[in-house]
Amino acid sequence: MDINKISRTDWNYKCHVISALNYRKQAFYGRKTIGIGTMLKHLCYWKNILEAEVCIYHVHMLLEMP
């Protein structure tokens, strides 16, 4: 378990974010899924995103908060 520390304080805060489309339209399929997947890979590398997944109706992300 990765625990962050500052004098006398320990924390490990993670947040599960789901970004859904209006009316649950099927917008992420085929080439769009691949394009969004590559964008999420870059975001995971730059930011504190631990995991990301693209589904047909929505996007899941697991964030670690400092």
Please state, in angstroms and rounded to a whole number, the distance separating the CA atoms of residues 21 and 57: 6
**Residues 12, 63 contacting (CB under 8 angstroms):** no
pLDDT computed for residue 30 by the predictor: 72
Q: Specify the higher pLDDT residue, 41 or 7.
A: 41
Tens digit of each residue's pLDDT (9 = 90 or more) over 39-60: 888 888 888 788 888 887 888 8
Q: Quick one: what percent of the chain has pLDDT higher than 70?
A: 83
Model confidence, pTM: 0.65
Q: Specify the higher pLDDT residue, 55 or 23.
A: 55
pLDDT at 63 over 60: yes
